[in-house]
Chain A
């Protein structure tokens, strides 16, 4: 309770500011309409009208929530207007990119920890790769994938998502695989353990806390990558595409509901990673 109270207070504050802002921003339109009709309106008449416009500049929270509810519960899940359907498309891309990012990140980390030359030649480029704005690559990856005859948008989206999500995994896994200290390594040497055995029995288990910590960052990055991959490319499925459609047809409510659906998806994914982490820790016998 003591933890929830401040959060709820801040949330209520945000909602209050939001309502005030939407009254202020949407009132321009109401005044415009009144002026054209040659009538004057008082604030008491303006405020209700700012709450229920069809194309508000800033929709008030209850409009967004009702649109969101419409999109989630008001449609059949397979309908093209259902947010669940679009969220599923985005989720699929996110998970593909996430898996690819983990594989690349862990693989590179293993090579970098094992071979000094990999560390020296590849690591600086991995860092530079993250300063390149990936979105710059997004439209091009799509065109190239198309030219190469890859069907659908899943693969290019997954590549973009993996590009963003491999880096946190890489950095944490390098730290994790290097975390066993000299004494532990020496002990395994006295047991006559081979390099492979040292890796499986010491380095890999030691890296797990680092690995799971990085997964939370990586899944968020992967979701951002997928949505960016859907944005600039004329995609018609997925939450990013919903935002684009809302923007092109001037339907703010579609944009806002897609944005909040993305936020909910992000929250669910982060919670899911946390649950997997707790299960893995319990299995490995780490005290919670």
Chain B
């Protein structure tokens, strides 16, 4: 019982400290903006540990964070092999091919308003569909290895990126286009110097959505057949063996990889669209 009480007290103290911090001048500094959520995360972990230990929750239902951390430290080689298989071979190539193809198609149909009017509503609709359902079909076509995972990711990221890119290409203002025209700029010059840069904030919006979809696609596709490594494979087999600590370890790695992927795209966005109002802090 002392475990539970102790962790609850710790959580309350952390929350009180956070409330003080948020109300103080620290809240505006960069340190404060990092410290408050970090502290909140730590208190949640302590609360989790305390409740699981104090109430004697079976590790089959919920393993404590310390056990998960131990499992991660103890099986780094297995986890790394899974990451290579699922992320570097499945999600990443699929993401690059899918979003590259979407950008290319968006530019290709840029000169035809007719095709845009036809493709945009369909693209919008397809982007809302549960495309993950294609996973079993694509696994049947491309086999169990990473090719089928990459194919699922390609299909999943294509439409969100396409829709955003087409919207982005229409984002430059009339006045700016007129200015390019008075300079006698050709179609390609206008595209390169005005409309592509103007489309970048939209493109990165689509890429961010696609980055989470890519991981989901790669992992779900592994549920339908995979070699004997990969994050989706690890999760589905370990759940079957009730090895929940390994499942949580894989989830932690997946969360880390997902956040890193998202963060990387945000960094590139900041670098490419430094001129956009939302980037000026």
Contact = CB atoms under 8 A, between A and B. Distances in A.
A227 B21 CA distance: 42
Interface string B218-261: 01100110000001100110010010100110110011001101
B55 interface: no
B132 A227 contact: yes
Given A57-B141, A133-B212, A232-B236, A128 B18 contact: no
A142 B247 CA distance: 13
By DSSP majority rule, is chain B's interface helix, strand, loop, or mixed?
A: helix
B39 interface: yes
A142 B61 CA distance: 11
B129 A131 contact: no
A87 interface: no
A134 interface: yes
Nearest to A246: B136
A132 B23 contact: no
B61 A147 contact: yes
A131 B41 contact: no
B118 interface: yes
Nearest to B139: A247
Contacts, number: 164
B216 interface: yes
A15 interface: no
A244 interface: yes
How big is the B interface, by class?
35 or more
A121 B212 CA distance: 22
Contacts of B114: 6, 9
A263 B129 contact: yes
B219 A135 contact: yes
B122 A128 contact: no
A135 to B, nearest CB: 5
Interface of B: 15, 18-19, 21-23, 27, 32-33, 36-37, 39-41, 58, 60-62, 114-119, 121-122, 125, 128-130, 132-137, 139-141, 211-212, 215-216, 219-220, 223-224, 231-232, 235-236, 239, 242, 244, 247-248, 250-251, 254-255, 258-259, 261-262
